[in-house]
Chains A and B, each alone.
Chain A
């Protein structure tokens, strides 16, 4: 089955700096890669996703890149703000197979004002 590894496990950045989180996956058939943000005591909230037919996707301060050959994808947050502090999870799945998501271990991001 799919295995997703995520690094780093914790990330502390100064407000205004960029944050980068990296994930690798094992199943070459995975073709959908969402990123979720989880605030304390809440459920995961989708912040951005990318499909395997695209190499990069941006949404304001957030961008995701995908390298299918190397089987890794990354989340980039620019101009970080204190409200970006949360745990971020990457995930991978085959869209045709019921969308069972396999999650990475999570990255706790702390943005220091």
Chain B
């Protein structure tokens, strides 16, 4: 079964450093998402991306965050200057535009900011 793949699975970074989380969405999907989950809390929407631009973003997704689809397969989330409170599991997700709106999630990238 096709799946969303994410790298790295776990990253530890110093506060203030830049981090790039990578995702390979399912190949025929055209909508891409980033969500995050702080330990023990609910999954929160960060941003959606369609047709090479952000279609919606949450208040969490401030100027420190950016997304990019640098080629035909990757979808990245960059955090420019990490803060302690950015420590969380970050999930990439994707869906097709076709019938049904199932969103498929990756396994997540666990980010620890120290």
The chain A residues found within 8 Å of chain B, CB to CB, are 32, 34, 36, 41-46, 49, 89, 91, 93, 95, 98-106
With a 10 A CB-CB cut-off, give which of B31, B35, B95 has the most chain A CB atoms. Answer: B35
Does A34 lie within 8 Å of B102, measured CB to CB? yes
A-B contact pairs, 14 of them (CB 8 A): A34-B103, A41-B107, A42-B107, A43-B91, A46-B103, A89-B42, A91-B43, A99-B103, A100-B45, A100-B48, A101-B43, A101-B103, A103-B42, A103-B44
**In the complex the two chains form, what is the Cα distance from A98 to B47 in whole Å?**
11
Give the secondary structure class of B's interface.
strand
CB distance from A86 to the nearest CB of B (A): 14
Inter-chain contacts of A104 with B (CB < 8 A): 42
Which residues B1-48 have CB closer than 8 A to chain A?
4, 31, 33, 35, 41-45, 48
CB distance from A61 to the nearest CB of B (A): 20
Inter-chain contacts of A95 with B (CB < 8 A): 101
**In the complex the two chains form, what is the Cα distance from A36 to B103 in whole Å?**
10
**Cβ of B104 under 8 Å from chain A:** yes
Task: Identify which of B44, B50, B56, B105 contacts A43 (C-beta below 8 A).
Answer: B105
- If A43-B106, A43-B108, A45-B105 touch, does A99 touch B43 (CB 8 Å cutoff)? no
Inter-chain contacts of A98 with B (CB < 8 A): 31, 48, 50, 55-56
